[in-house]
Amino acid sequence: MEKYLEPEKTTISPDKDILHPDDAQYIWLPILVLVGILVLAALVYAMSRSRCRFSWECLNRRKAPRGGYINVDEEDSDVPMACGDELGDHRIEASLLSGRLHIQDGYPLLVTKEKSEDVAHTKSALQKKVTYGGRHAVTMLPGGGIGPELMGYVREIFRYCGAPIDFEVIDIDPSTEGNDDLDYAITSIKRNGVALKGNIETKSQTLSEVSRNLDLYVNVVHCKSYPGIPARHHDIDVVLIRQNTDGEYAMLEHESVPGIVESMKVVTVDNAERVARYAFEYARQNNRKKANIMKLSDGLFLEVANRVHKDYPELEHNNMIIDNTCMQSVSNPHQFDVMNMTNLYGTIVSNVLCGLMGGAGLISGRNYGDHYAIFEPGTRNTGTAIAGKNIANPVAMISASIDMLNHLGHKEHANVIQEAVYQTIVNDAIRTPDIGGNHSSTDVVENILKILSAKRVNW
């Protein structure tokens, strides 16, 4: 009888794997899932803390100044970040916790961003200015003609007196048919809140559309004579406040039938009231006694101004039609104090008054909205005929930069530059040919720098 053979018992060693070799891979799945969850959570946390948003398409086509600062507003998700001085394939070092890039030698470096409010021109706590470490980022639009050389003088003066401003320079090519440059300029202004602008010529989008896009509803031009400047009238001191977004520049036109084009002049109650209230408020806060309103044929502008005037009973208020206004401006400009008018009429009267007091090279203009501000020369001509000849009057552009400094709260810097300008053209009589002198543009600027060298600015 064969011996019964029992199956051999297998003993399992505690140090041996009890799983089949094919099942070993499954042990890593929970670990990988856990690691993935942790990585995803870290990314979500970092993105939630992020204040930096990029538009990578700008890398090969946008410009920013070397040594300047590029900022992004957390509230404007549609505003792309500017990317450097023709960056191309340059390396970008960015942090999800940073809102600004510092352009240094073509490379953006990381800095931080702060915000502050601005109520410098009277009204709105919504006014925005981008600051970092006490410095401000400002969009600079040199424009055409004499604009680039005048902006160069401004930057030289700012460097000399230590004005805490970093410019983001954007050149707009007037020969292009598209709106890319101008659209990017608007983006930059939305980002920085403040701009210094020369006179710009474009073949496509108009600058009136820029004012409407940014809702810069009021333009302010302070026409004040300089003593000793040859002029038709002396001691002029008139403030012109005009609409920017309504009126003849509404750009609403159409061809009703072949050969007949109709253009609409638009006056709205809301915009008329904003400008009228600004004019009365300006007169009250600056101890002005009278507000002159331009009377329009439809009466709506005047009707709104009369209603707003009830809130300012201490101010004298009268009206005048535009053709009589021009005549009175030439014959007796001293009768006017604060003038409130629509877009085209304001442009005409401001040019008349600038001509009466010495020329277009002396006066600056300010454009305000609830969120943004743009500063520029008071009259809008590019000066192409005198570009590059070193005879352009730099005073208007320098005065615009002084207005900008006051708006940003840098009043010490504004005051010393203003005093240097006044001493140069009044006391030292160093003047360009347009105001009766025989000096060059650089002569004026060098004398301003000489005066600034003896002054000390307290921050």
The CA distances from residue 181 to 82, 172, 383, in Å, are 12, 5, 21
Phi, psi of 218 (to 5 degrees): -135, 140
- What is the crossing angle of helices 207-214 and 180-192, to 10°? 30
φ, ψ (nearest 5 deg) of residue 257: -140, 160
- Check residue 97 and give its pLDDT: 29
Select from 3.40.718.10, 3.30.499.10, 3.40.50.10540, 3.30.1370.110 the CATH code of 232-356: 3.40.718.10
Residue 382: predicted pLDDT:
74
The domain ranges of the chain are 113-223+363-459, 232-356
User: Residue 12: its pLDDT value, please?
Assistant: 46
Question: Residues near 65 by Cβ (< 8 Å), separated by ≥ 6?
Answer: 85, 103, 140, 166, 167, 168, 169
CATH number, domain 113-223+363-459: 3.40.718.10
Report the pLDDT value the prediction gives residue 83, as an integer from 0 to 100: 33
Distance CA 330, CA 415 (A): 31
- How high is the pLDDT of residue 207? 59
Minimal CA–CA distance to 394: which of 447, 432, 450?
432
Q: How far, CA to CA in Å, does 272 sit from each of 184, 310, 336?
A: 29, 15, 20
- pLDDT of 127 reads 62
pLDDT score recorded for residue 72: 36
In CATH terms, are 113-223+363-459 and 232-356 the same topology? yes
Residue spans of the chain under pLDDT 50 = 1-4, 10, 12, 14-19, 50-120, 122-123, 125, 297
